[in-house]
Amino acid sequence: MQMRFSTYRLFACMGVVLLAGLPGVAAADESDSCIKLSDDLAVAGCTRTIDSHQYTGRSLARVYARRGGAYRAQGDLTHAMADYNESMRIDPTYPSAYNNRGNAWYHSGKFDRAIADYNQAIQLDPKSGLAYANRGSAWGAKGDFNRAIEDFDRAIQLDPKDADAYYNRGSAWSGRGDLDRAIADYDQAIQLDPKHGAAYVNRGNAWGTKGNFDRAIADFNQAIRLDPKDTKAYYNRGMAWEKKRSLKEALADFRMHARLAPSDPEGLKALKRVSKELRAI
């Protein structure tokens, strides 16, 4: 029976795009204060800024883009899209609005529309490593790993300290079946961001696929230390224990996975499978 590890997919960088390429603004500027608010406060704060009618041009476009990001974080894509569109209408040359709308399309599964927006962001700001990285994630989601790797290469050239770009390029290498290059990129992502739990999980998967279950378990252990509710880490560690025929340890991990993700059919299958094997001993 072939058993597959559960892998974290490539992802578009959401958190820092909003502030990319912004001109400097004095701290006393209310629009700047709105930009810096957390997502749970930004909708109300940016609405007040918009309703003040004190801002125009790029400053106002930034505020709409920020409020759009806050709406997206709340799962309200309708209002997020409306704000991104308004930001572009006010300032069609503002690259971050295209980047952020691309992210919204990406997380809606509309990868071609996402790529079109990332293309526009890159055209407006050819030195935006985030736009290249995000477009690479969209290519990867479409299964075009060669184009994804090209974009991640460019993103890394522009920002060699972007841990997510290395992580995503590693996932693209893994998609192409080049596990050694994938591991090398996960290594770099972890060196840059030692708390990158997804990189530990995916590197563990690569080690497991190569048959090195001890190194895989070590990576899953670290992922769980970083996030004790990481369902993929428990499931994958259970898989590695099962491959090693350490069935009691595997059962414990599959039980934890079932508690955290009771609707995951693969986890329930694994739990039943290992329970049956242990009863037969």
Provide the token pair at 99.
């980047």
* Mean pLDDT in residue range 110-136: 96
Q: Is residue 233, in this structure, part of any structural domain at all?
A: yes
CATH number of the domain that 182 lies in? 1.25.40.10
Domain extent for 181: 167-281
Q: Is residue 2, in this structure, part of any structural domain at all?
A: no
Claim: this prediction has a pTM higher than 0.85: yes
45 and 146 assigned to the same domain = yes
Q: Is residue 83, in this structure, part of any structural domain at all?
A: yes
Q: Is residue 4, in this structure, part of any structural domain at all?
A: no
Per-residue pLDDT tens for 17-50?
Answer: 333 322 222 223 455 678 888 988 999 999 999 9
Is pLDDT of 2 > 50?
no
- Amino acid at position 175, single letter: G
* Band (142; pLDDT cuts 50, 70, 90): very high
Among candidates 277, 269, 187, 197, which has minimal Cα distance to 231? Answer: 197
Q: Is residue 24, in this structure, part of any structural domain at all?
A: yes
Chain center to CA of 93: 26
- Give the pLDDT score at 20: 31
List Cα–Cα distances, 281 to 53, 116, 252, in angstroms. Answer: 74, 57, 17
Buried b vs exposed e over 248-270: b needs ≥16 C-beta within 10 Å?
Answer: ebbbbbbbbbbebbeebeebeeb
153 and 110 assigned to the same domain = yes
93 and 182 assigned to the same domain = no
188 and 277 assigned to the same domain = yes
37 and 152 assigned to the same domain = yes
142 and 29 assigned to the same domain = yes
Pairwise CA distance, residues 124 & 126, whole Å: 6
